[in-house]
Structure 1
Amino acid sequence: MSSTIAITNRSLHDQVASRVRDLIIEGTLEPGKRIDEARLIDELGISRTPFREALRTLAAEGLVIVRPSKGSIVRKLTAQDVFSMLQVLGNLEKLAGELVCETATDEEIAGLIELHERMMGYYRTRDRMPYYKLNQEFHSRLAELSKNETLQEFQANIQARLKRIRYIGNEKPEYWAGAVKDHEEMVAALSERNGKRLGEAMSNHLAKTWDRVKDSL
């Protein structure tokens, strides 16, 4: 890493958390490894306090383990952890898909489809991180539009823990193309307001995610 990653502008806490989160997602900060706080603080050009606050945020998301007096480490998920989370997430998003087609307004569905189109723009240029972030937003917004607060809470919790896992699911070109095909099926179902079709598309997408990531764990 170089000093070009120095933090400037907007909310310091949010930007530090965002930057460290990206380093975890990209694998620059490796799962199971201790975070070199002194080096990152220097390279980000910040003080210790906002950095520690950012680590607490990431710990709450399940990405970091903060160990008093021992330093923080990047959480490492086992294969069973990932399988279990994807299994539950698949069922949550299946329900979300069914509910969205029942409860969302035409304007809300149009917003999801527009978000998908922006994702496709990044896919066409193979710009992986912006694509990934819009992908995460798509899944979060779908859960939000279910209008079920319990579903939203559990979906957000699991999705946060799987950030690195979902990112590596698109490492191979054929895996990324497969994920895009899944999303095109989701949008087709959304356009029809076909809740059963959308629910199955969401569930199948998460099942395929396991197939795409299991050999990397």
Structure 2
Amino acid sequence: MDGMPAAQRVLNELRNMIIKGDLAPGSRIVERTLCARLNVSRTPMREALKLLEIDGLIEISQNRGARVLAFTPDEARELFEVLASLEGLAAELAATRMTEDDAAHIARLHEAMSAHYANRNRDEYFDCNSMIHEAVIAAARNRTLEITWAGLLRRAQRGRYMAIVSQDRWHQAMDEHEQLMAAFEARDGVRAGEVWRQHLRHTGVTIAEVMAKVASAA
């Protein structure tokens, strides 16, 4: 992170804190406390908060300050229905458009993610998983699709991290990733699209179930 502008560093830190639940839905964001924690001044903090509001992760009120937006089961279902279509199309296109370098890059990420899964390294698994989804989008070579997907990404990341709380879903997700790799190796666009659409649908259902359980236990 050396050389990274302070506002960007703060933005990355706060995104991770929201995605991984360190800043819980509905919680107030106390600027002074976070400035001290991240060792930054108020200016980069406020710049980062404005960008988080654009991402749809927080809400800034003139009277009440900033708070983390809730992520509801219905929002999760709707969001992942859209992502299933977008990422399914991306996988279908990527299967026939990807270069050898693209394929090798995705294969390396998959191997690393598999190792993290075997060792139950949740955070490292999540990071590799996110990079695989991004690499599939890039390999589709469709700028309109990529821009549309990027607009939903930040909200989706909170859900994806939540989904691997379920051990059964984590195992199922790994199996779906294996199926995608097989489809890519065969350059089978139809199969890749089917697998990836189902993968995103299953993720959305799991997130909604996890959130409903948390709400009922509260």
- Please give the TM-score of this superposition, normalised by the length of structure 2: 0.90
Q: 1:89 aligns with which of 83, 91, 98?
A: 83
Q: 1:51 aligns with which of 21, 42, 45?
A: 45
> Within 1, Cα distance between the matches of 2:186 and 2:62?
52
Q: Secondary structure at the match of 1:92?
A: helix
Deviation at 1:9, TM superposition (A): 3.8
Deviation at 1:68, TM superposition (A): 3.0
The answer for the alignment partner of 2:148 in structure 1 is 154
Deviation at 1:97, TM superposition (A): 1.0
The answer for the alignment partner of 2:216 in structure 1 is none
Does the Cα contact within 8 Å between 1:61 and 1:160 map onto a contact in 2? yes
Does the Cα contact within 8 Å between 1:140 and 1:156 map onto a contact in 2? no
Give the letter aligned to residue 38 of structure 2. L
Residues 191-202 of structure 1 correspond to what in structure 2 (within 5 A)?
191-202=185-196
Deviation at 1:69, TM superposition (A): 4.2
Residues 64-75 of structure 1 correspond to what in structure 2 (within 5 A)?
64-75=58-69
Q: Secondary structure at the match of 2:60?
A: strand
Cα shift readout 1:154-176 (whole Å, capped 9, x = no counterpart): 11122211111110100122221
> Within 2, Cα distance between the matches of 1:186 and 1:40?
40
> Within 1, Cα distance between the matches of 2:110 and 2:52?
27
Structure 1 position 132 matched with structure 2 position 126 = yes
Q: Secondary structure at the match of 1:65?
A: strand
- Please give the TM-score of this superposition, normalised by the length of structure 1: 0.91
Deviation at 1:10, TM superposition (A): 3.9
Cα shift readout 1:35-88 (whole Å, capped 9, x = no counterpart): 122111111111111111111222222212222343111121222221111001
- Count residues in correspondence: 210
RMSD across aligned positions (CA): 1.5
The answer for the alignment partner of 2:214 in structure 1 is none
The answer for the alignment partner of 1:187 in structure 2 is 181
Give the letter aligned to residue 143 of structure 1. I
Does the Cα contact within 8 Å between 2:72 and 2:208 map onto a contact in 1? no
The answer for the alignment partner of 2:20 in structure 1 is 26
Q: 2:71 aligns with which of 77, 87, 95?
A: 77
Cα shift readout 1:9-29 (whole Å, capped 9, x = no counterpart): 441222211211111111111
> Within 1, Cα distance between the matches of 2:208 and 2:164?
12
Give the letter aligned to residue 103 of structure 1. R
Q: 1:176 aligns with which of 145, 149, 170?
A: 170
Structure 1 position 143 matched with structure 2 position 149 = no
> Within 1, Cα distance between the matches of 2:176 and 2:62?
43
> Within 1, Cα distance between the matches of 2:117 and 2:9?
25
Give the letter aligned to residue 120 of structure 2. R
Does the Cα contact within 8 Å between 2:91 and 2:196 map onto a contact in 1? yes
The answer for the alignment partner of 2:35 in structure 1 is 41
